[in-house]
Amino acid sequence: MAAAAVMVSSASGLLAMLQEPAAELKLHALANLNSLVHVFWPEISTSVPAIESLYEDEEFDQRQLAALVVSKVFYYLGELDDSLSYALGAGPLFDPSEGSDYAQTLLAKALDEYASIRSKSLKAAGEGDEKMDPRLEAIVERMLDKCILDGKYQQAMGMSLECKRLDKLEEAISRSDNLNGSLSYSIILSHQYVSHREYRCEILRCLVKIYQTLPNPDYLSICQCLMFLGEPETVGNILGKLLSGSKDDALLAFQIAFDLVENENQAFLLNVKNHLDTLSLQTSAQTLPSDQTAATEPSGDAQMTDDAITPNGNAHTVDPNEVAHADRLTKIKGILSDLLILKTIKQALEMRNSVCHSATICSNAIMHAGTTVDTFLRENLEWLSRATNWAKFSATAGLGVIHRGHLTQGRALMAPYLPQSGAASGGSPYSEGGALYALGLIHANHGEGIKQFLRESLRNTSSEVVQHGACLGLGLAALGTADEEIFEDVKNILYTDSAVAGEAAGIGMGLLMAGTASEKAGEMLAYAHDTQHEKIIRGLSLGIALTVYGREEEADTLIEQMTRDQDPILRYGGMYALALAYRGTANNKAIHQLLHFAVSDVSDDVRRTAVLALGFVLYNEPEQTPRIVSLLSESYNPHVRYGAALAVGISCAGTGLSDAISLLEPLTSDVVDFVRQGALIAMAMVMIQTNESYDSRVGTFRRQLEKIILDKHEDTMSKMGAIMATGILDAGGRNVTIRLQSRSKHDKLTAVVGLAVFTQFWYWYPLTYFISLAFSPTAFIGLNSDLKVPKFEFLSNTKPSLFDYPKPTTQQTTTASVKLPTAILSTYAKAKSRAKKEAESKAQEKAEAPPSEDASTSMQVDGVAEKKAPEPEPTFQILTNPARVVPAQEKFIKFLEGGRYEPVKLAPSGFVLLRDLKPTETEELVLTDAPATQATNAAAATAGQQGSGSAAMAVDEEPLPPQPFEYTS
């Protein structure tokens, strides 16, 4: 048969047999055509009507075989819809498990068709089921069952999710060998591949239901799912249950709390906290005697630190600020910011250049974000006093970045600049407004303790500058809480129709309603159409975009309305709405829309923003961004090139991605100054926490920044970009990175919103400070049951130099000295020539003389002593808690076995609770309040290494704020 098949050179004979009246001949022809269709399909395609007629003939016994042949012919012709239709008619003869290209292609087509029909049926209940072809459903069922029977559970889970068959998903998970692993895999699939938010919620509810049936539920994963679903009461119940259990359960509760806090959803955390307070009061009333009521201490932030269980079983209240205390102490332990860089920038700037002056102040704030170190400002008070008007506003606000997270004493630190109650005319309105903005930055996303003060400051002032700062501060402090009273206060400022205050009010309203998809967006849009002030329209357009953060398809109506508006500023806001609604989803529809506007809109602002917005949509897949924007980065339009640069910077921030660096390198030398500015800032965002050992281009980039700053003829825009990039590279004392997703792969609302507002520095420089909201500490901080930091060691299984701090700069490298030619006299030249000839003759005589044994021995010894082999670098490093762990290093972190402590969760960075395996022994703590001298000594050693005179201090010895500065012309 095989030999006969090889000899066949044409299918014409077999096709002629189809016209014979005998059914046996037709069957013989069809059987052979089925086996030869992959060779002779062009010839067979001319007789498709004849084969179709056999399929339609109900009296013909082998109708299904005819359908299979027709299906294969249509497959080779590229008509997949017709091919699938006839494949379904082939019944059992079509085997989807067959490994051929034909079977695999049609199976994918069948799954797509099935998923599409299921999607429509979910949207319009009752209609979709009638349209479903039972034969199509049978094929999908057969394939799903086969995958489960063959043990291909992950494949079955993926197909079940795609086909919207949650019953099959549940069956695949329940029958798998590793239940927890399968559930985790399903969560990853739901976040990465499910594009519709409602369907993703259905999947997560299904997974939570399965989790709860397990004998030992994974509460960490359950609470992450519940946070996405927005069910704070259920999370509160779980935390309450764990806190009332064993000590290990309490540790797990704390770990859950830290993970939830990392996701930065203030409104959700406040609801959980309130529910826990209610449970605590109920439990106290029911189980505790009257003289033992559970203490509930008011806190200035929403961190989940409620009653912990001590080893003896008694409940005690943990101060919420201990968390910020441990984080801040960790930063101070290893602050390695280089003040010599700032000194060099300051010396290189022209006295009259206010833009670069403000950029340097901003760079210093970013470089010391969250460290409380303001040495540079203290040492340069006279230089700082040159800041006037809005530059003074920015300089004062920069203190908020430096002291970010200092919740307990933030207001006291800013007191010299804040509006004084009862004073007829306090300080400068610019410093007062900047101080209110700074308070918002300090308490961003943890503003419970400061909101009332900011509201009072807003009500008690008529200065639009102070109102500007108060609106921004309130928006930051109440981020995403949708507080109606605050919204009304800020809206009243908007309705004054002041351009300066109205812009901040628009942004503040958006921050307040971030992610709520509130109907208030309609009011904001209506006022944007009514007002004549471009600044107010721009503030409102960004504010409206913030309200639809993370709402995905729910925001489509508003996005359509904004992107079709005649006003280019509102279309500009529509780009941000599209970016924030679909943030981190890599949604194809959103990408398609943004690319369309990037090349078709008549406004350069809209085109620039459309390209930039791609960075927000794609930050969950940073590897894709350089490829998608590569052509746009070569556009003739400089605004599009600028947008491409920042899109890569946002999407690939903190990754050190090689493709991103390669794309940005030519843009840093672009012919247009603002394109160079954007590329330099974007490059710093990508390279943050990356050193020269990891990528040699980091060192080249640092030298390029230095060259731009020192060049007297460089454009101001480029210089500003280089100064800001320098601050971003060394942000937070070189101990933070830019992270838009938490370690549990949830989008960080504060970080994403912060970067979105940061990009507005194009219009308004003070908004640059919003980048500090995206900073995330690169640290592993292990905590015991008392939230103290014990001694704990773990392994970094790679060379230490790959992730070490950058080397400190030295005075020689920062000053360019030019060596002048030396004048040489003719008498000196002759004397030098004679001396050279005498030395050569002596050397020749010495070479001819036989060497003595002693001399040869001594020379050998000297040779060995002088030529010392360099020690090889170790291939691993033992790190001590707390330790700096950068994102690229996380995959090399291993926990040592046999130690005293065991992590509750195997996380390579962040806050990790440690289970004490030897509770009877005395604990050795690393960071405590008492030994202030230890931190001071460590800081002094760091300062000596830097050679810059900066000194970090213990947390208990908080630095005083700089002296209030007042400039009079």
Q: pLDDT tens digits for 658-692?
A: 999 999 999 999 999 999 999 999 999 999 989 88
User: Do you find a cis peptide bond into 882, omega within 30 degrees of 0?
Assistant: yes
> For residue 421, what pLDDT is reported?
66
Distances (CA, A) of 703 to 605, 653, 717: 32, 20, 18
pLDDT tens per residue, range 552-610: 888 999 999 999 999 999 999 999 999 999 999 888 999 999 999 999 999 999 999 99
How large is the average pLDDT for residues 403-428?
78
Asked if residue 187 lies in contact with residue 221, where contact means CB atoms within 8 angstroms, the answer is: yes
How large is the average pLDDT for residues 805-823?
59
> For residue 351, what pLDDT is reported?
75
Instruction: Please tell me whether residue 316 adopts helix, strand or coil conformation.
Output: strand
Give the DSSP per-residue string, 635-660: -S-HHHHHHHHHHHHHHTTTT--HHH
Q: Which residues contact 456 (CB under 8 A, 6 or more apart)?
A: 421
- Helices 23-44, 48-56: axis angle to 10 degrees equals 140
**Is the pLDDT reported for residue 266 higher than 80?**
yes
> For residue 845, what pLDDT is reported?
61
Sign of the alpha-carbon torsion through 645, 647, 653, 657: negative
How large is the average pLDDT for residues 222-251?
89
How far apart CA 211 and CA 170 sit, in angstroms, is 11
Return the percentage of the chain with pLDDT > 90, whole number: 31
Give the DSSP per-residue string, 895-956: PPTTSSEEESS--SSEEEEEEES-TTSPP-EEE-SS-HHHHHHHHHHHHHHHTS------TT
- Residue 443 identity: H
Alpha carbons within 13 angstroms on the beta-carbon side of residue 515 total 19
> For residue 301, what pLDDT is reported?
39
- 884 strand-pairing partners: 779
How large is the average pLDDT for residues 482-507?
91
Strand 308-309 with 775-777, pairing? unpaired
Asked if residue 405 lies in contact with residue 437, where contact means CB atoms within 8 angstroms, the answer is: no
How far apart CA 601 and CA 637 sit, in angstroms, is 12
> For residue 828, what pLDDT is reported?
63
How far apart CA 732 and CA 737 sit, in angstroms, is 8
Structure-block tokens of residue 111: 């799954």
Read off the pLDDT band of 775 (50, 70, 90): very high
**Is the pLDDT reported for residue 632 higher than 90?**
yes
**Is the pLDDT reported for residue 418 higher than 80?**
yes
How far apart CA 917 and CA 250 sit, in angstroms, is 15
Q: Which residues contact 280 (CB under 8 A, 6 or more apart)?
A: 240, 294, 296, 306, 307
**Is the pLDDT reported for residue 757 higher than 60?**
yes
**Is the pLDDT reported for residue 832 higher than 60?**
yes
Read off the pLDDT band of 284 (50, 70, 90): low
**Is the pLDDT reported for residue 850 higher than 70?**
no
Alpha carbons within 13 angstroms on the beta-carbon side of residue 923 total 20
- 870 exposure class (CB count in 10 Å sphere: 0-12, 13-18, 19+): exposed
Residue among 462, 642, 14, 401 nearest 650 (CA): 642
Asked if residue 893 lies in contact with residue 804, where contact means CB atoms within 8 angstroms, the answer is: no
pTM for the model: 0.82
> For residue 445, what pLDDT is reported?
86
Residue among 731, 709, 615 nearest 663 (CA): 615
How far apart CA 421 and CA 439 sit, in angstroms, is 16
Residue among 143, 190, 153 nearest 173 (CA): 153
**Is the pLDDT reported for residue 476 higher than 90?**
yes
**Is the pLDDT reported for residue 255 higher than 70?**
yes
- Residue 341 identity: I
Sign of the alpha-carbon torsion through 493, 497, 502, 508: positive
Sign of the alpha-carbon torsion through 561, 567, 570, 571: positive
> For residue 846, what pLDDT is reported?
57
- 878 strand-pairing partners: 795
Structure-block tokens of residue 384: 């700082």
How far apart CA 282 and CA 276 sit, in angstroms, is 10
Read off the pLDDT band of 288 (50, 70, 90): very low
Give the DSSP per-residue string, 214-263: SSS--HHHHHHHHHHHT-HHHHHHHHHHHHTS-HHHHHHHHHHHHHHHHT
How far apart CA 361 and CA 391 sit, in angstroms, is 9
Residue among 267, 367, 405 nearest 768 (CA): 367
How far apart CA 449 and CA 134 sit, in angstroms, is 61
How large is the average pLDDT for residues 132-141?
82
What radius of gyration do the chain's Cα atoms show?
Answer: 34
How large is the average pLDDT for residues 397-412?
89
**Is the pLDDT reported for residue 323 higher than 50?**
no
Residue among 515, 503, 436, 427 nearest 476 (CA): 436
How far apart CA 743 and CA 441 sit, in angstroms, is 23
How large is the average pLDDT for residues 945-958?
40
Read off the pLDDT band of 399 (50, 70, 90): very high
**Is the pLDDT reported for residue 9 higher than 80?**
no
> For residue 924, what pLDDT is reported?
85
Read off the pLDDT band of 948 (50, 70, 90): very low
> Residue 151 CB: number of other CB atoms within 10 A?
12
Q: Which residue in this structure is represented by tokens 């980039």?
A: 701
Structure-block tokens of residue 3: 């030999």
How far apart CA 774 and CA 898 sit, in angstroms, is 37
Q: Which residues contact 106 (CB under 8 A, 6 or more apart)?
A: 71, 75, 80, 83, 84, 87, 94, 96
Among the ranges given (490-494, 580-584, 600-604, 741-745), the one the predictor scored with the smallest mean pLDDT: 741-745
> For residue 362, what pLDDT is reported?
94
**Is the pLDDT reported for residue 711 higher than 70?**
yes
> For residue 18, what pLDDT is reported?
76
How large is the average pLDDT for residues 246-264?
89
> For residue 46, what pLDDT is reported?
82
- Residue 822 identity: T
- For residues 849 and 807, the model is more confident at 807
How large is the average pLDDT for residues 717-730?
93
- For residues 825 and 180, the model is more confident at 180
Residue among 769, 771, 735, 734 nearest 751 (CA): 771
Sign of the alpha-carbon torsion through 616, 617, 621, 626: negative
> Residue 806 CB: number of other CB atoms within 10 A?
18
Asked if residue 658 lies in contact with residue 855, where contact means CB atoms within 8 angstroms, the answer is: no
Return the percentage of the chain with pLDDT > 70, whole number: 82
Asked if residue 187 lies in contact with residue 225, where contact means CB atoms within 8 angstroms, the answer is: yes
Q: At residue 397, what are phi and psi to the nearest 5 degrees? A: -65, -30
How large is the average pLDDT for residues 365-382?
89
Asked if residue 471 lies in contact with residue 543, where contact means CB atoms within 8 angstroms, the answer is: no
How large is the average pLDDT for residues 914-938?
65
How large is the average pLDDT for residues 501-521?
91
**Is the pLDDT reported for residue 126 higher than 80?**
no
Read off the pLDDT band of 295 (50, 70, 90): very low
pLDDT tens per residue, range 519-543: 888 899 999 999 999 999 999 999 9
How large is the average pLDDT for residues 618-638?
92
Read off the pLDDT band of 302 (50, 70, 90): very low
pLDDT tens per residue, range 52-76: 888 887 777 788 888 888 888 888 8
**Is the pLDDT reported for residue 953 higher than 50?**
no
Strand 779-783 with 883-884, pairing? antiparallel
Q: At residue 196, what are phi and psi to the nearest 5 degrees? A: -95, 125
DSSP assignment, residue 774? G
Q: Which residues contact 571 (CB under 8 A, 6 or more apart)?
A: 562, 563, 564, 565, 597, 601, 603, 606
Among the ranges given (91-95, 414-418, 512-516), the one the predictor scored with the smallest mean pLDDT: 91-95
> For residue 122, what pLDDT is reported?
64
> For residue 659, what pLDDT is reported?
93
Read off the pLDDT band of 5 (50, 70, 90): very low
Q: At residue 818, what are phi and psi to the nearest 5 degrees? A: -110, 125
How large is the average pLDDT for residues 480-505?
91
How far apart CA 427 and CA 447 sit, in angstroms, is 25
Structure-block tokens of residue 295: 């203490």
How large is the average pLDDT for residues 442-465?
89
Calculate the average pLDDT of the chain: 81
